[in-house]
């Protein structure tokens, strides 16, 4: 499966269905959405977190697991 997906200049104006994005982008590590018609950062976030996890949730979880007791 490819880990880089380039959707530059595809005329995307909305993210679409979360389930389809989740299935299609499951292995994607890099995503190029430049030169599209997305006008709301929440649409971009749908591509970044297709399964409903937010960046804050990810960082919170990593912070708890990576924290060392002093």
The predicted pLDDT at position 19 comes to 84
The secondary element (H helix, E strand) that includes residue 42 is helix 41-48
Phi-psi region of 35 (alpha: psi -120 to 50; beta: other; left: phi over 0): left
Q: Are 8 and 37 in contact (CB under 8 A)?
A: no
Q: Which residues of the chain have pLDDT under 70?
A: 50-70
pTM surpassing 0.85?
Answer: no
Q: Are 38 and 63 in contact (CB under 8 A)?
A: no
The predicted pLDDT at position 63 comes to 47
The predicted pLDDT at position 61 comes to 44
What DSSP designation does 50 have? T
């Amino acid at each position: 499966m490819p880990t880089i997906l380039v959707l530059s200049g595809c005329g995307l104006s909305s993210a679409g269905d979360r389930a389809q994005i989740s299935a299609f982008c499951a292995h994607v590590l890099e995503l190029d959405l430049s030169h599209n018609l997305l006008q709301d950062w929440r649409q971009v976030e749908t591509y970044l977190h297709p399964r409903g996890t937010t960046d804050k949730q990810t960082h919170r979880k990593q912070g708890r697991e990576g924290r060392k007791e002093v």
